[in-house]
Structure 1
Amino acid sequence: MSYEKLAKEIVHLVGGENNVVSLVHCATRLRFVLKDEAKADKGKLEKTDGIITVKQSGGQFQVVVGNKVPEVYNAIGKVSNILSETGHEDKLAKGNKGLGAVIDVISSIFAPLLGVMAGSGILKGLLLIASNLGWLHPKETTYMILYAGADSLFYFLPLLLAVTTARKFGGNIFVALTIAGGLLYPSIVTLKTEGTPTDFFGIPVVMMSYSSTVIPIILAVIAMSKLEKLCNRLIHESVKNFVTPLILLVIMLPLTLMVFGPVGVYVGNGIAAGLVAAFSFSPLLAGAILGACWQLLVIFGVHWGLVPVFINNIAVNGRDGIKPSASASIFAQTGAAFGVMLKTKNKKLKTLAGSATLTALFGITEPAVYGVTLPLKRPFIAGVIGGAIGGAIIGQAGTQAFASGAPGLLTLPIFYGPGGQGFPGMILGITVSFLVSAILTYILGFEDPVDEGDTTDNSAKESTPAAVFSNEEVLSPIEGTVVALSEVPDPAFASEAMGKGIAIQPTTGRVVAPFDGTITVAFKKKHALAIVSHHGAEVLVHVGVDTVKLDGKHFTSHIKEGDQVKAGDLLLEFDMEQIKTEGYPTITPVIITNSSEYTDIVPIAHGQVKEQEPLLKLSATTKDQEGTA
């Protein structure tokens, strides 16, 4: 796959780089904030090779591309100016409001750090295990060196957040880093540790510990970015490059120590205390709710509101008892995808569900959720139930997270603390959530998609003659305008990959039988049907393009598989105007799916055609006359 080619396609289909306010990425998604989402072509994006799905939530236009997201993100930086700092401030003038704005800010600030957080968290968890098992002692220099690598991100977290927040709000990154460095400066740390009374020009300063904190630096850099823009407007260009940073440092560092720091620390601790209280009141109930709802929060993008709480708990307290229950939801959806893989008879879906299961085991659930469980509905519900049960077990066990990282098999060490307390509950919880979801999915079942490339089943083949007769006519199943198959905006039909035939632009919303025959396939989405004549011609009538996505809406079927029909019998009705309103073309291919058995397939009708007028002439040499004389 060419990442640069995919990147160009994505930039074009989101409305061009001038339509992009900002772009960040998480583990599997490109998270765009667009000036006008109406300019983005969601339908074409979803059909683009390399894109799993597209979601709009939390004020973001999210393009899900899976594990290759860092490569695609970097490629976008190469083919456009979206990731450059130039002009970024002007782009930020327009944004979202309310909850969407909050979610956008939080995800933009934390998403770039998730990868290194996961790596640091795994290393920290492995060191905890090695220490508890006596393999390494905390006083050994080997342990100290590795622990510095694992813990430095969390200790210097304000520095990293200063960078991502400044990028989000168009502030000077180096000034933001300097302010964050001031909070961690040795003499400032000493004032806190020694309890020295502190004031700034006589104004009392409540000293706090800022290593590993989250909210203070975010508030400080947001305010700094606003002040910077004001200074740049008022100060002459000849001196603003050094006068503006001077003003920012003089004002923002003291203001952060006096206001943003204490407020941020107290607010973060307050939110964390509230959630901890909920788990203290009933860890079983709180765990069940979080295990059931976490994946729903992820779908709508509002889970970002809890991510800072998890990180803050680990940074301040060294552990977090809330995040582990959310892990049950991850393994539950994994189990549901596994259940789909076991039950489906659709080869394409089986392959998709298998690969999605493997990916989800390592914490990347988007392919499983958006590609498998959510479209099939019941497997997703099974995952919610499994997540609730697993979350309840984990909550009751009192499992703690001792480092950050996306829940998955590789990050299980982050839940292993001193003495391993709560870790067995974690293992039991995720195992139960996986198994319950898989079993429920298998029992409850789902509407197994029919492979549209296979329009006949064995029973139908057995019930129809093996011989193909020459000079058979196919009557028009629809009234409308005849157009060439090559004009259908779907390569599978236009290229004749599914067979030769013709297309009709309908003027009425009816499909009738094109000959006497047997219904071999009545698609459950009602958008298409397959019929075989008594002489062996196999015809697929597919109303519209991509109308399978309507899930049967605006269609009324009058048939079922195995029905014997006469030419002209009403098979299907559809609401043309509603289908067009939904954004789908109504052009209808009429395909001879066993075209290879005919020497010639010739269109008879041209221009306007009515129901039951001759449409196609099929010519062939008799293939097998046995039993047909």
Structure 2
Amino acid sequence: MASTTAEQIVEKVGGPGNISSLTHCATRLRFELKDAGLVDQSALEKIPGVLGAVPQSGDRYQVVIGGAVASVYADITNLPSVKGAKPAASDADIKAAERAKARGKVAWLDAFFEYLSNSFRPLLGVLLGSSLIIAIAAVLDALHIVPFQGVDRLTAAGATWVFWDSMWRSVLYFLPIMVAYNASKALKVDPWIGASIMAALFTPEFLSLSEAADTVCTTNATLGTDQCVAQIFGLPMQLNGYGGQVFVPLIMVAVLAQLYKLLQKIFPDNLQMVFVPFFCLLIMVPVTGFIIGPISMWLGTGLGAGLAWLNNTVPLLFAVLIPMIYPFLVPLGLHWPLNALMLANISSAATGHQDFIQGPMGTWNFACFGATAGVLVVASRVKDNEVRQTAIGALAAGLLGGISEPSLYGIHLRYKRIYPRMLIGCAVGGLTIGILGWLFGTVKTGAFAFTSLLTIPVFSPMWVYAISIAAAFVTAMLLVIASDYRTAEQKAEFEQAQADLALAEAPAAAAPAAAPAAGGVATLVATRTVGAPVAGTVVPLAEVNDKVFASKALGDGVGIVPSDGHVTAPVAGTLVTVADTGHAFGIKTDDGVEVLVHVGIDTVQMEGKGFQLDVAKDQRVEAGDLLAKVDLEAVKEAGFDTTTIVVVINTLSLKSVQPVAAGDVSLGDTVIDVEV
């Protein structure tokens, strides 16, 4: 039987033989399975360390782990059973195989978003690291310690702090080369070819073209920037600064992939190593410089200008729209195009190298984290340790790293009551940043910042951003605390699980010793029967209106439609569970038979109204002792089924458990025969 987290995951996805390939991203294991129908999703999500399980199109499956994903991935790939199976493939292999299958009406759309995701996802770590470096710089500038924002920065800040700036600008400036590398891998192109083509536009030689004798430059009076056109082979080439541009490598690699595959067909295997890279560079560097580069710049500028127009024309609508759509984009991985636009804004002189999308986006993130904080408070109050631990980890990842996936997959998508409350937090945060931004200036940033507590200083006006994210956080948190994150059914399920757990874990020693027989030697009276805890009409367990009990997942037994409100002990033993609401009792007999009496269905929602307890936990009872009195009419008026269920929890560990009664029974009549 599987014991470690890795072994349990492999088992629940259908075993090692069902895994075609496996890779991972920042928070998720990504499986390509032979048959996704073999996955036991419910059991998978209950594995300690698993935050959620997400089926994808075809036979792809994602298992959300969070920050420990790399170690879990390593554990799985090192399992002997998995090593003997098909080797784990790369993300690119998985996606390429999926595209080849072309399943579903929107397979091309899935492939497009996977391409974007695979191009950016491996860079999240360095983007986060660089955003923290610029956050430190922003704090120093805000405190007037080091003037990072001055025009003559080398003179004002000094060489040391200019060098500090280079540590984060390296990531942003050379981002197109990094994106080209990842995008090439995603499309099964030699990634070094893609990176080399993009790098050609960053060489000193290319940058010096603006100073060539036959290059003509004009100044844009509005932006204060120069636009130069060089003559290359007698043809005009528009020169651009490609630092930080992401649309250029994305489009370039998409074209390169077609050329690369064509060249692989033309040249035999023994010549491909030389001639495929040669012709790729020879063709794609000019194509990128003459066509793809300028077109991509126009595209990025146009999209950015469109959003800027919306932000400038109806800023309140824009400020609310962004945080309201993000909760639906992120779980589907559809937020990457907006992320690309943020990077394009930062790199564009037209926007003053400032992005205006991340401010409103931050209010969604903090509404998400606020909802998680609310869940943490409620889970701590009701002592749901599993959810509490998940919430603590998710909240730490969010507030310190700006990562929302642990909150979304670990909690929010499991408990559907959270989303409406989180959306209200998004709306409040969006309205706040929209109104304050209209009055005091739009919130902007010059860095691609993960919206966490640590990156608040990179936004300006910082106080507007801080107030807005605080409003989103507090609103979502208070709404979740006030209304709970669980439905009535989920509350009842949790209460039942707690009762079952207490009963199952109760030590046999909890029961007092049996009375000594003649001669002073203690004897243990074996439990042979379970009596009716209520008078009424017996119904088969399979017919009760509760799927869990009806499935016999909690043990075999019977249901009784009560005719009287007196509830008595069906066996002699110790009360190891007594629900505060008076609706459930767990009794453990001297010889280890575990019996659960559950009065009514979903009656935990009555919160004890109509129930009068006569016993307490750990109390010794004899068969027939009164446990509680129930107002059956009150239960019916509240809309609940009064059927009382009596089951033997440890049925599987006993020799025999047989329901024997039918029809009407009185208190104490035998309803179940037991053989220990």
| Aligned amino acid, residue 382 of structure 2 | N
Q: Distance in 1 between matches of 2:555 and 2:481?
A: 40
CA gap of 1:86–1:428, structure 2 versus 1, over 3 A, is: closer
RMSD over equivalenced CA pairs, Å: 4.5
1:431 counterpart (470, 475, 490)? 470
Question: Would the aligned equivalents of 1:58 and 1:101 in 2 still touch at CA under 8 Å?
Answer: no
Equivalence for 2:672: 615
1:99 counterpart (86, 103, 109)? 109
Equivalence for 2:656: 603
Question: Would the aligned equivalents of 1:558 and 1:571 in 2 still touch at CA under 8 Å?
Answer: no
Map 1:56-455 to 2 at 5 A: 56=55, 61-73=61-73, 80-83=87-90, 93-94=100-101, 97-137=107-147, 138-139=153-154, 140-192=158-210, 195-196=215-216, 197-316=229-348, 317-344=352-379, 345-348=381-384, 349-362=387-400, 363-396=402-435, 397=437, 398-415=442-459, 421-446=460-485, 447=487, 449=491, 450-455=494-499
How many Å apart are 1:112 and its aligned residue? Answer: 0.7
CA gap of 1:403–1:36, structure 2 versus 1, over 3 A, is: farther
| Aligned amino acid, residue 339 of structure 1 | G
Q: Distance in 2 between matches of 1:86 and 1:100?
A: 15
How many Å apart are 1:322 and its aligned residue? Answer: 0.9
Q: Distance in 2 between matches of 1:188 and 1:334?
A: 45
Most deviating of 283-292 and 609-618? 609-618
- The SS at the match of 1:411 is helix
How many Å apart are 1:242 and its aligned residue? Answer: 0.3
Equivalence for 2:530: 473
Q: Distance in 2 between matches of 1:379 and 1:251?
A: 53
Q: Distance in 1 between matches of 2:75 and 2:232?
A: 48
| Aligned amino acid, residue 200 of structure 2 | G
| Normalised TM-score (structure 1) | 0.73
Most deviating of 424-433 and 133-142? 133-142
CA gap of 1:162–1:367, structure 2 versus 1, over 3 A, is: closer
Map 1:1-12 to 2 at 5 A: none
How many Å apart are 1:224 and its aligned residue? Answer: 1.4
Q: Distance in 2 between matches of 1:532 and 1:513?
A: 19
How many Å apart are 1:37 and its aligned residue? Answer: 4.6
Question: Would the aligned equivalents of 1:119 and 1:405 in 2 still touch at CA under 8 Å?
Answer: no
How many Å apart are 1:84 and its aligned residue? Answer: 8.9
Question: Would the aligned equivalents of 2:375 and 2:481 in 1 still touch at CA under 8 Å?
Answer: yes
Structure possessing the higher radius of gyration over alpha carbons: 2
Q: Distance in 2 between matches of 1:290 and 1:48?
A: 34
| Aligned amino acid, residue 68 of structure 1 | A
Question: Would the aligned equivalents of 2:120 and 2:179 in 1 still touch at CA under 8 Å?
Answer: yes
Equivalence for 1:622: none
What is the identity percentage for the equivalent residue pairs of Structure 1 and Structure 2?
Answer: 25
Q: Distance in 2 between matches of 1:403 and 1:242?
A: 40
Q: Distance in 2 between matches of 1:400 and 1:437?
A: 24
Measured against aligned partners, the alpha-carbon deviations of 1:152-180 in whole angstroms (never above 9, x if no partner) come to 01111111011100110000111112101
How many Å apart are 1:123 and its aligned residue? Answer: 0.4
Measured against aligned partners, the alpha-carbon deviations of 1:242-275 in whole angstroms (never above 9, x if no partner) come to 0111111111111111221111111111111111
Q: Distance in 2 between matches of 1:559 and 1:332?
A: 29
With CA pairs under 8 Å and 6+ residues apart, which has the higher RCO, 1 or 2? Answer: 1
- The SS at the match of 1:455 is helix
Question: Would the aligned equivalents of 1:3 and 1:71 in 2 still touch at CA under 8 Å?
Answer: no
How many Å apart are 1:207 and its aligned residue? Answer: 2.4
Question: Would the aligned equivalents of 2:20 and 2:88 in 1 still touch at CA under 8 Å?
Answer: no
Q: Could you list the runs of 5+ residues in structure 1 that have no partner in the other structure?
A: 416-420, 458-465, 482-487, 494-500, 505-509, 543-554, 574-587, 620-629
CA gap of 1:289–1:411, structure 2 versus 1, over 3 A, is: same
Q: Distance in 2 between matches of 1:144 and 1:241?
A: 42
Question: Would the aligned equivalents of 1:456 and 1:530 in 2 still touch at CA under 8 Å?
Answer: no
Question: Would the aligned equivalents of 1:108 and 1:168 in 2 still touch at CA under 8 Å?
Answer: yes
CA gap of 1:172–1:489, structure 2 versus 1, over 3 A, is: farther
- The SS at the match of 1:206 is strand
- The SS at the match of 1:253 is helix
CA gap of 1:51–1:343, structure 2 versus 1, over 3 A, is: closer
Question: Would the aligned equivalents of 2:373 and 2:391 in 1 still touch at CA under 8 Å?
Answer: yes
Q: Distance in 2 between matches of 1:222 and 1:424?
A: 42
Map 1:453-464 to 2 at 5 A: 453-455=497-499
Q: Distance in 2 between matches of 1:357 and 1:126?
A: 22
CA gap of 1:24–1:247, structure 2 versus 1, over 3 A, is: farther
CA gap of 1:11–1:310, structure 2 versus 1, over 3 A, is: farther
| Aligned amino acid, residue 410 of structure 1 | L
Question: Would the aligned equivalents of 1:474 and 1:514 in 2 still touch at CA under 8 Å?
Answer: no
- The SS at the match of 2:495 is coil
Question: Would the aligned equivalents of 2:131 and 2:449 in 1 still touch at CA under 8 Å?
Answer: yes
Question: Would the aligned equivalents of 2:586 and 2:595 in 1 still touch at CA under 8 Å?
Answer: yes
How many Å apart are 1:62 and its aligned residue? Answer: 3.0
How many Å apart are 1:453 and its aligned residue? Answer: 3.8
How many Å apart are 1:377 and its aligned residue? Answer: 3.0
How many Å apart are 1:309 and its aligned residue? Answer: 0.6
Equivalence for 1:545: none
Map 1:530-609 to 2 at 5 A: 530=584, 539-540=595-596, 562=611, 563=630, 590-592=647-649, 603-605=656-658
Equivalence for 2:506: none
CA gap of 1:215–1:436, structure 2 versus 1, over 3 A, is: same
Q: Distance in 2 between matches of 1:181 and 1:592?
A: 67
Question: Would the aligned equivalents of 2:9 and 2:47 in 1 still touch at CA under 8 Å?
Answer: no
- The SS at the match of 2:238 is coil
| Aligned amino acid, residue 422 of structure 1 | P
Question: Would the aligned equivalents of 2:658 and 2:673 in 1 still touch at CA under 8 Å?
Answer: yes
